[in-house]
Amino acid sequence: MKRKLKIIDEIVKLHPSLGIDKGWSYYTGGMKDSGDWYLRKMLDVPIEELKLFLDNVNQKTTTFENTEISKVEINGITFIMRKSLAEQINELRNKTEKEFIKSIFKCRNN
């Protein structure tokens, strides 16, 4: 039982949105996040299932942590995000600026 409680302690340190699919937590996102874990439900689950869940979450977290991050400034606010997303935002920004400049020249020529 002590081993099971240790695993549950590790799980409840995680964000509650991770346990929704299992029915082990509730979570409501939005402007004010709210959520928590259902400890009683996790106590009823075999220890092997808890371990497997924790291992899977740790693998996903490690994969995300190892991705490169980048900073993007938008309207004076600096956002930290994955490098791939930052590149997409910069590409969209450049495309939008080019389209805006083209539209200005079209207005001047008319």
46-63 residue pLDDT tens:
999 999 999 888 776 544
Query: How high is the pLDDT of residue 48?
Result: 94
Q: Are 8 and 46 members of one domain?
A: yes
Global pTM reads: 0.52
Q: Are 9 and 55 members of one domain?
A: yes
Query: How high is the pLDDT of residue 61?
Result: 57
Q: Are 44 and 76 members of one domain?
A: no
Range of the domain at 11: 2-65
- 32: alpha, beta or left? (left if phi > 0; alpha if psi -120 to 50): beta
Q: Are 89 and 51 members of one domain?
A: no
Q: Are 19 and 43 members of one domain?
A: yes
pLDDT over threshold 90, residue 6: yes
- CA distances for 48 relative to 1, 11, 18, 29, 71, angstroms: 12, 13, 18, 29, 40
Q: Are 47 and 79 members of one domain?
A: no
Q: Are 10 and 58 members of one domain?
A: yes
